[in-house]
Amino acid sequence: HKPGKLVKAALEKAVDKVTELVNPPIPGAPNSEPPSLEEPTEPRGPLPPKPDQDAPETVSPTGAPTGAPKIANAQQGEFLTTSAGARLYDTDHSLKAGERGPTLLQDHHLREKVMHFDHERIPERVVHARGYGAHGVFVGYGTATNVCKSAFLGDGVETPVFVRFSTVLGSRGSADTVRDTRGFATKFYTQEGNFDLVGNNIPVFFIQDGIKFPDVIHAGKPHPDREIPQAQSAHDTFWDFVSTHTEATHHVMWNMSDRGIPRSYRTMEGFGVHTFRLVNAEGETALAKFHWKPKLGVHSLVWEEAQMINGIDPDFHRRDLADAIESGAYPQWELGLQLFPDTPKQTFEGIDLLDPTKIVPEELAPVQPVGMLTLNRNTTNFFAETEQVAFHLGNLVPGIDVTDDPLFQARLFSYLDTQLTRLAGPNFNQIPINRPHVPVNDMFRDGFHQHAVHGGVAPYRPNTLDGGNPFVAKAEDRPFVEVAQPLPRAVKVRQSPASFADHFTQPRLFWLSLTPVEKEHVVRAFTFELGKCYEQAIKERQLAVLANVDPTLCAEVAKGLGLPVPSTAARPRKVTPSPALSQIGQTWPTDGRIIGIVVDPADLDGVRTVRETILAGGMVPLLIAPTGGPIGDSGLVAQRTFLTARSVEFDALLLAGSPPPGPDAVPARDAKAGAPGAAVDPRVVLMIQECFRHAKGIGAWGAGRAAVEAAGCTGAGVVLGDDASKVLAEATELLKSHRVWDRFPATIA
Ligand code: HDE
């Protein structure tokens, strides 16, 4: 046993390896070779970034362009190094006293590698932890200039943006399609500094005063004893809170509607929620609410579908957004303004504009388009961009100011404060994704994670030593100036205005504006959520709240829960419905919609034509075959197999054949030999039945019709024919209305 010899041998081996690595000529050229399954043995230039990805704008920590190349493929250069730049010869073996000996403390690379890994995670956002972002551009129409002097709203002005969508309650690794509110936060990198519009997909909020935010979030988050349930409101603490805190009722109505389970981020509206104060070049003010209107319309999942997706594809929404951008189907939203005169009362048609639990129906104040947002670039690095982006309502530009909405005011504190823990210090605006695209001269110095090397000696004002720089801007230099808003004579109180006490008129307005199918979904959502509560008293109290909204709603939910209708029901208030709140009744573009096509390799008639027509129509065909690989000798390739496909991935399903059970099929429980359906793969039968239950268009031609018959699905939205193109045309027509609404039982008037 001679350890000295062993160490020597290991050293010799290592030296050989280093010589091997250092000596060969380094090609450095971009990798143009075909992909190889072998591990590369020589250093080579970095792979080019994907065309739809690009690193954030490279500007210095003070915002000036550096001229440096974008670091799209950072750290994929030729040699692995330590963080101090020393080249490494081995990263797979720790330095040991002999092959079987103890690890040496001397091993800097081991310690550094593990140390860095140990600290890779930062605290997730306390709310909106799960999110997904993308880059894009906002183009102003110039239509807002009479009310708002912000340069980015000017005609044709292009402003880079970063948008982060999110759920509220779930933690970072939770699923996308839970029932929840969605965040819709936009950072505009304008020429007058960053403007952050940090909104939601629901136009009202749970609370009227920011001091209640910890309460509502503590109630909605999982129970503190067992940390169950994750990412949902279907539990006792949530309903305990909202049933006793009736100002949440309006928001809860939206959550329990189809808005709580969007089909896609691309098909969600966005709302600034609060009323903002706009200022024009003449100094005149107006009150305004911001709206994002998706070009594809507002569409949702159905509850069973949403629940299935959470298991089958928890990344459903982020995948959908990234795929759409990658394929060039850039999602678009039009920014619109509802405008109101800035009167001392700050109300409009009797609606208190400072109350964030109230909307102003679009029929009373139309949404006026002021610009278009297009998301056209995926992130290069999720952590660097989506995780590190820090939005803040105080990031305002000339022309847009706050109001005294007490929720808005509290948020102005929270969004700076939270970053101190999450991004570990006060220099988070130096992180590339947060940097403005204009010069920054903030005179803030030092602090954790300071990236700037500030020159000069006088970071104070007034100074003479640095030539008096930086100077404060004069009016013509377009500084941000707070509106000199006169305040009424007041006393300091912990109270809300009387108008904030009406918690039921608008929830009723929302309910009455829905179609019967949408109402049915609201009833089922309430019944599901309350059905998940254990405490009887909570269910009864929430029924009493619903009785104040609408007697039918209350009675239907009570029926589902098996509880009596409360005797306290108030007399229904008179409200005028707002049809604009319903998601049903129009037709929309079908861009980026996904159509599954079940293919029987033995019978491929029409498949190619149908696939090409779908592509030409801007939709996405997905071929589903019994096994992977090429489909017969058609030249087509299966994108899904009966094992990997599930109905929830498609917006419509076409059947080009009735494939018999594939090699890995497990017979359906009720598929007795000889029974109809036994001849068709049971997973295909299931796919058809699920699409049918979820009111999706189903089309079949030729032999495919036998599969639909085997599934026992007939009636509205099931298109059977002999001509593939005709069947597709009809199915696409159905898709324009999003779902085959007639298929849902309409039991509520
Ligand atoms: Fe937020 N909210 N919020 N919020 N919020 C945060 O900020 C907070 C509210 C919204 O993608 C946090 O950076 C308080 C309304 C979105 O990064 C935190 C109050 C609306 C996002 C915070 C509210 C929102 C956040 C957590 C009551 C819709 C995600 C991490 C006064 C208009 C932004 C962070 C992103 C994030 C606090 C109310 C939307 C803790 C105290 C109302 C979309 O600062």
228 and 107 both lie in a single domain: no
Domain check: are 599 and 679 in the same one? yes
**Active-site option among 109, 135, 194, 200:** 200
Query: Looking at residue 44, what is its pLDDT?
Result: 63
Note if 200 is an active site residue: yes
List the CATH number of the domain containing 175: 2.40.180.10
592-625: pLDDT as tens digits = 999 999 998 877 878 999 999 999 999 999 999 9
CA separation for the pair 94, 14 (Å, rounded): 12
Nearest C-alpha to atom 6 of ligand 1 is from which residue? 127
Residue 11 is predicted with a pLDDT of 45
422 annotated to a ligand binding site: yes
For residue 414, give the ligand 1 atom closest to its CA. 44
Q: Is 411 labelled as part of a ligand binding site?
A: yes
Based on the fold, state whether residues 356 and 237 are members of the same structural domain.
Answer: yes
The pLDDT assigned to 606 comes to: 84
DSSP H or E run through 108? helix 108-118
The predicted pLDDT at position 12 comes to 52
Q: Is 130 annotated as belonging to a binding site?
A: no
The per-residue pLDDT for range 490-549, each reduced to its tens digit, is 999 999 999 999 999 999 999 999 999 999 999 999 999 999 999 999 999 999 999 999
151 CA distance to ligand 1 middle (Å): 26
Does some domain include residue 329?
yes
Q: Is residue 400 part of a domain?
A: yes
The verdict on whether residue 125 carries a ligand-binding annotation is: yes
Kindly state whether residue 718 falls inside one of the protein's structural domains: yes
pLDDT score at 634:
84
**379 and 292, same structural domain?**
yes
Could you give the CA distance from residue 468 to residue 95 in angstroms, rounded to a whole number?
A: 56
User: Phi, psi (5° rounding) for residue 372?
Assistant: -125, 135
Helix (H, G, I), strand (E, B) or coil at 420: helix
Read off the CATH number of the domain in which 533 is found: 1.20.1370.20
Say yes or no: CB of residue 409 within 6 Å of ligand 1.
no
Alpha helices in 327-433 (DSSP H): 382, 406-422
Residue 415 Cβ contacting ligand 1 at under 6 Å? yes
Q: Is 412 in the pocket of ligand 1 (CB under 6 A)?
A: no
Distance 415 CA to ligand 1 centre (A): 7
Using CA positions, which residue lies closest to atom 39 of ligand 1? 199
CB neighbours (10 Å) of residue 65? 11
Considering the domain architecture, whether residues 613 and 691 belong to the same structural domain is answered as yes
Q: What is the CATH number of the domain that holds 609?
A: 3.40.50.880
Cα(497) to centroid(ligand 1), Å:
24
Query: For residue 250, what pLDDT is reported?
Result: 98
Q: Is 418 in the pocket of ligand 1 (CB under 6 A)?
A: yes
Cα 733 to Cα 475, 588, 697, 738, distances in angstroms: 55, 10, 9, 9
CA atoms of 578 and 293, how far apart (whole Å):
16
Q: Is residue 342 part of a domain?
A: yes
Is the CB of residue 205 below 6 angstroms from any atom belonging to ligand 1?
yes
Q: Please report whether residue 470 resides in a domain.
A: no
Q: Does residue 464 sit within a domain? A: no
Domain count, the chain: 4
Q: Any known ligand binding at 646?
A: no
Spell out, as residue ranges, where the chain has pLDDT lower than 50.
1-4, 6-8, 10-11, 14-15, 17-32, 69, 71-72, 669-670
Q: Which residues pair with 276 in a beta bridge?
A: 288
Instruction: Select from 120, 151, 170 the last residue of a domain.
Output: 120
Ligand 1 pocket check: which of 196, 198, 354 to mutate, most ligand atoms within 8 Å of Cβ?
A: 198
230 contacts 272 by C-beta, under 8 angstroms:
no
Element (H or E) spanning 652, and its range? strand 652-655
Q: Is the CB of 213 under 6 A from ligand 1?
A: yes
Whole-angstrom CA distances from 251 to 102, 120, 386, 507 are: 60, 36, 27, 8
Kindly give the interhelix angle for 516-531 and 551-561, rounded to the nearest 10 degrees. Answer: 40
| pTM for the predicted model, two decimal places | 0.91
Is 415 assigned a ligand-binding role in the annotation? yes
Same domain, 137 and 3: no
Q: How many CA atoms lie within 13 A of 54 on its CB side?
A: 15
Give, for ligand 1, the residue of 122, 127, 169 to mutate: max count of ligand atoms closer than 8 Å to Cβ: 127
User: What confidence score (pLDDT) does residue 632 get?
Assistant: 84
Nearest CA to ligand 1 atom 27: 210
User: What pLDDT, on a 0 to 100 scale, did the predictor assign at position 600?
Assistant: 84
133 Cβ closer than 6 Å to some ligand 1 atom: no
For the Cβ of 331 lying below 6 angstroms from any atom of ligand 1, the answer is no
Smallest CA-to-CA distance from 696 within 681, 710, 682, 711 is with 711
Do residues 712 and 626 both lie within one domain?
yes
Residue 737 counted as domain residue: yes
Q: Do the domain assignments include residue 324?
A: yes
Q: What angle do CA 580, 252, 315 make, to 5 degrees?
A: 85
* Cα 110–chain centre separation: 38
Rounded CA separation 367/359 (Å) = 12
Same domain, 338 and 200: yes
Does residue 273's CB lie within 6 angstroms of at least one atom of ligand 1?
yes
Six token digits for residue 715: 């009636």
In angstroms, what is the span from residue 287 Cα to ligand 1's centroid? 22
The pLDDT, as a whole number, for residue 572 is: 80
Query: Could you tell me if 553 and 610 lie in one domain?
Result: no
Closest atom, ligand 1, to C-alpha of 211:
31
Ligand 1, closest atom to CA 198? 43
Could you identify the residue written with the tokens 């940090």?
A: 198
pLDDT for position 169: 98
For residue 721, give the H/E element and its range. strand 718-721
Mutate which of 128, 250, 290, 317 for ligand 1 pocket (most atoms within 8 A of beta carbon): 128
202 and 320 fall within a common domain: yes
Host domain of residue 669: 594-743
Residues 418 and 522 placed together within one structural domain of the fold:
no
CA dihedral 695, 701, 706, 707 (to 10 degrees): -40
Residue among 391, 402, 408, 429 to mutate when testing ligand 1 (max atoms within 8 A of CB): 391
Spatial distance between the Cα atoms of 432 and 549, rounded to a whole number of angstroms: 48
Residues 324 and 387 in one domain: yes
Q: What is the pLDDT at residue 53?
A: 59
Q: Ligand 1 centroid vs 170 CA: distance in angstroms? A: 14
Atom 11 of ligand 1 has which residue's CA nearest to it? 164
pLDDT at 675: 55
Question: Which residues is 411 bridged to in the sheet?
Answer: none
Catalytic residue from among 109, 128, 135, 274: 128
CB 165 less than 6 A from any atom of ligand 1: no
- Among the candidates 434, 455, 475, a domain finishes at 434
* Residue 138 Cβ contacting ligand 1 at under 6 Å: no
Q: In angstroms, rounded to a whole number, what is the distance separating the alpha carbons of residues 595 and 598?
A: 10
Which of 548, 581, 614 represents a domain boundary (last residue)?
A: 581
How much is the ipTM here? 0.97
